[in-house]
C-alpha cells in the first residue's frame, strides 16, 4: 500500500536514508551514521509535507520503499503555476527490489503531481535500470541543464 508519509514516519524514513546513503556512497560514506540520521531527521521535522513529500510503500506495517518529492515554487509564468517537483530519495530495501515498488511509487508521484498543479517533475538518475522505469513513464533527458558547483 502506498501512502504519503506522516510525522510519525520520520524516524523510519531517516533510517532508510542512512541505508540509501551507505549504498550510494560506499567507502566514501562518513563513519558516523548518527550525524546523517540526525541531520535527516531534523530536516524532515522542519519540511515534511510542507515542501517535501514522501510517497512510501508499506508492507506489514514496515516502510519498504520511498520516493521523495521536493516541491519548488518559482514565480508563475503566464498560465502556469510555477510549481515544479524534484524526485529524490527513491529507495527500496534490497529484499523488496524487482517487485514493481519503484514503478508504483513513480505512478503515484505522477498522479500526486497532476492533482497538485505541479507543471514539471525532474530528477537525476545514473542507474540504468531505474532510468528505464522513468523513461517508461514519460521522463526524457534534457540537454540544456547547466550547473555550477559552489561547495564540494
> Mean pLDDT across the chain, nearest whole number?
92
Degrees to nearest 5, angle at CA 24 with 118 and 19: 90
> How far apart are alpha carbons 117 and 111 in whole angstroms?
10
14-33 pLDDT, tens digit per residue, is 999 999 999 888 888 777 77
Which whole-number Å values give the CA distances from 103 to 29, 45, 65, 84, in the listed order?
28, 27, 11, 20
The predicted structure's pLDDT at residue 31: 75
Mean pLDDT across 67-80: 88
- pTM exceeds 0.85 for this model: yes
Q: What is the pLDDT of residue 79?
A: 66
The three grid cell numbers given for residue 121, joined into one nine-digit string: 517533475
pLDDT in the model for residue 94:
95
Residue 72 has which C-alpha cell? Answer: 519548488
Position 126 pLDDT exceeds 70: yes
pLDDT tier for residue 54 given thresholds of 50, 70 and 90: very high
Amino acid at each position: 500500500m502506498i501512502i504519503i508519509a506522516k510525522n510519525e514516519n520520520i524516524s523510519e524514513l531517516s533510517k532508510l536514508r542512512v541505508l540509501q546513503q551507505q549504498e550510494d556512497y560506499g567507502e566514501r560514506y562518513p563513519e558516523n551514521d548518527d550525524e546523517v540520521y540526525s541531520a535527516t531527521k531534523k530536516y524532515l521535522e522542519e519540511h515534511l509535507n510542507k515542501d517535501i513529500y514522501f510517497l512510501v510503500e508499506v508492507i506489514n506495517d514496515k516502510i519498504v520503499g520511498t520516493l521523495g518529492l521536493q516541491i519548488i515554487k518559482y514565480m508563475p509564468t503566464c498560465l502556469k503555476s510555477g510549481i515544479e517537483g524534484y524526485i529524490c530519495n527513491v529507495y527500496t530495501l534490497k529484499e523488496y527490489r524487482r517487485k514493481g515498488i519503484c514503478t508504483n511509487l513513480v505512478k503515484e508521484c505522477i498522479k500526486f503531481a497532476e492533482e497538485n498543479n505541479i507543471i514539471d517533475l525532474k530528477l537525476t538518475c545514473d542507474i540504468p535500470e531505474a532510468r528505464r522505469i522513468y523513461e517508461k513513464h514519460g521522463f526524457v533527458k534534457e540537454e540544456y541543464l547547466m550547473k555550477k558547483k559552489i561547495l564540494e
